[in-house]
A and B are shown apart, each in its own frame.
Chain A
C-alpha cells in the first residue's frame, strides 16, 4: 500500500500544464486529441516560457474542448470563431503568446474565413488544427477534410466533395510557418509546435488524428490503434514538399513535415509602426 501512496503523491511532469481537476477528459478511447494535447504540453515544457503570458483559445467540437484542460488562461468560445477571439486578445495585449487549438471543421469550415484573413493579416498566432476528417461531436458528419470516397453519417454513399488541403490553404493565405504531423509523431509534433510558437506571425500546425468513434468505425478501419499503425506504415516525412502535393487521398500515403517557414511583418508590428509615423507627422 505504501508504494501506491508514494506513486499517487508523485507529481506528473505535466501536472502544472494541465487542469488535473478536470481529468478524466471527455474524449473517446482511441481518439488522437489527447496526443495533440500531450505534444502541446510537451512543447510548453520545452519552451520554458512564462505560462502566465500564454493564452489558449478553442472553438467548438471535440478539439474545441482542449482549452478547458490546459492550465493557462484559456477560452472556450464559439464554433469557428476562436481565431477571431484570439485576434482580439493578441491586439489587446501584444505581449501575450496566443495559441488557437481547434478542429478541422471549426477552423477550416465555419471558421474558414477567419483562418484565411488572420493568415493574410499575419496576426501573431499559432494555430494547431487537429484534423480527424470528420465532424465528430455533432455525430460523424462529412467535414471539409473528409477524403473521397470515405463514408460519414452524411455521406452514406461515400463522400464526393473535394476535401480541403489545410497546409495549402494556410500557405496561400499567407501563413509564415506550416507543418503537418500525425498523432503518432509526438516528438516531431512537439518540436514543430515549439518552432511555430517562436515564429512571429501566423503559424499553422496540422495534426492528423484518428477518430475511432466515427471515422474509422463507419469506414471499418479498426480502432485508434489500427489507425496509428496505418499512420506508421503510410506517413512519409518530406520537409519542404510543395503544399500543392499535400492532398490526402483515402487510405493513401500521408505526407508530413515542415512545408513553409518564411518571414513577413506581423500585424501588430505594422500597426504600431503606422501609429508611430502618424504621431511623428
Chain B
C-alpha cells in the first residue's frame, strides 16, 4: 500500500475514531483511505471549512473520549498553529499529520518539502514543547502513526507527523500486525469521587494530570488561559510558572523516553550524516557509497525530530570531524545539530532540492569533502 494509506491504517489500528480535515493537497490520500473505512470501524469524520476549525473540532472530539486525527499540508499546517497552542494548554492528546511540500506560501504543492520542521516545533505562540515524528517508508508510516497516537495519549499533547508527498505516494508492502499485538498507551483517566476531580492536579512522577471524558458527571471546566489545578483561570506569574513550566517539563524532562533514532556505521566514523524523512533514504545510499570509497562515513536518522536527540548528537560530535545535514530546506535541523555539537564538529548544511530526491549525489559530494 502507499504511504498515505499506511498512515490512515496506522491511525485506525491505533483506535482513532475521528478525523477532522479540510481538503488540501498533497494529503488527501490519507483522508480517502480513512473515510472509506469509517463505516466498518465506527470512526466518524467531518470536512470542516478550514484548517483552523479542523483542529478545533479534533480537540473537541478528543474530550468525548475518542482518539482523533487531522491531516494537512502547507498553509493548512500554518492555520493549525493556533490550536496546537490550545491542544498543548488543555493537554489534549491528538495527532496532526503534515505532508510537507515546498514553500513558502503555495510554493510547489506537488513537490516534497522539508521547510516545516521548525514550524512544527515553534509555530504556535508562547512557550511549549511538542513531539514530532518523521517516518521514512510506508511501513514506518504505519508504525510511527501508531506510535504518534501512543505518545499523544501518554504525554497528553498534540503529536505531529512530518513527511512529504514522495513518501505518501511510495508503494511498498506494509506489515500490519494483528490488532491484539498493536500497543497504544492508554489515556490516564481519573477514577476518584465525582466532586474530587481536579483537571490539572498532576502526578509528581510524570507531571501528567488525569483526564475525564465529557458526560461522566465531573462537571469540569478547562480553559486556554493560564489555569490552576481546578482548570480555572488565574492571572499571575506564579500560576504561569506552575502551569506552563510543567507543560514544558513533562516532555523536556522525559525526552530520553520519547526520542527514537536509527544509527549505522557510526563507530569510528569521521563524518556523520544526520537526516530524517525521505532525504534519509538518499543519505543512507550516499553513506554506503562513500564507505566503498574508503571514507569513514556514519548514518544517523531522526525518527523523532522533536524532542531533538541533544545528548546523542553531542556524544557523536565528540568523536567525529564533521556533520553533514541534508534537508529539503536551506538549513533548519542543521542549526540544531550545530547547537548540540557545541563547536566540537563542523556542520555542513546541504540543500537537497526536491528534484534531487532519489539521487544521493549532493550528499555524497558533501561527504567527500571530509578527506580533502
Please report A residues at the B interface, Cβ cutoff 8 Å: 19, 21-22, 51-53, 55, 57, 67-68, 71-78, 81, 83-93, 95-96, 113-114, 116-117, 121, 267, 271, 275-276, 278-279
Contact = CB atoms under 8 A, between A and B. Distances in A.
A113 B221 CA distance: 26
A88 B57 contact: yes
Given A114-B53, A271-B44, A89 B61 contact: yes
A91 B17 CA distance: 10
Given A76-B225, A78-B86, A95-B215, A88 B61 contact: yes
A5 B216 CA distance: 34
A84 to B, nearest CB: 3
A95 B218 CA distance: 17
A73 B61 contact: no
A67 B52 CA distance: 21
Interface string B18-31: 10100000000000
B62 A92 contact: yes
Interface of B is mostly: mixed
Given A68-B233, A92-B65, A93-B64, A55 B214 contact: yes
B60 A88 contact: yes
B48 A117 contact: yes
A74 B20 CA distance: 21
Interface string B31-53: 00000001110001010111011
B86 A73 contact: no
B53 A93 contact: no
Contacts of A278: 39
Interface string B218-234: 11111111000010110
B214 A88 contact: no
Nearest to B49: A117
Given A78-B83, A87-B46, A92-B18, A275 B56 contact: no
Contacts of A86: 60
B232 A84 contact: no
B221 A68 contact: yes
B221 A89 contact: no
A84 B214 contact: no
B48 to A, nearest CB: 7
B214 A114 contact: no
A278 B53 CA distance: 27
A68 B232 contact: yes
Given A77-B224, A91-B44, A278-B39, A85 B59 contact: yes
B219 A88 contact: no
A113 B44 CA distance: 22
Contact of B40 (A22, A113, A279): A279
A73 B214 contact: yes
Contacts of A85: 56-57, 59-60
Contacts of A77: 56, 59, 86, 224
Given A68-B232, A93-B214, A84 B219 contact: no
Nearest to A26: B233
A73 B216 CA distance: 9
Given A76-B223, A114-B49, A96 B64 contact: yes
B82 interface: yes
The 8 closest A-B pairs by CB, nearest first: A88-B60, A92-B64, A84-B53, A88-B57, A92-B61, A84-B56, A76-B223, A93-B64
B215 A93 contact: yes
B351 interface: no
Interface in B196-227: 214-225
B220 A73 contact: yes
Contacts of B225: 76
A76 B222 contact: yes
B177 to A, nearest CB: 26
Contacts of B220: 73-74
Contacts of B39: 275-276, 278-279
Given A72-B219, A84-B56, A92-B61, A78 B224 contact: yes
A275 B221 contact: no
Nearest to B56: A84
B63 interface: yes
Nearest to B48: A84
Contacts of A114: 49, 53
B14 interface: no
Given A67-B223, A92-B44, A92-B62, 11 more contacts: A19-B221, A53-B215, A72-B219, A73-B214, A73-B219, A73-B220, A75-B63, A88-B56, A89-B214, A95-B215, A96-B64
A90 B57 CA distance: 9
Nearest to A86: B60
Contact of B232 (A22, A117, A271): A22
Contacts of A113: 49-50, 53
A78 B82 contact: yes
A96 B215 contact: yes
A254 B69 CA distance: 45
A91 B43 CA distance: 10
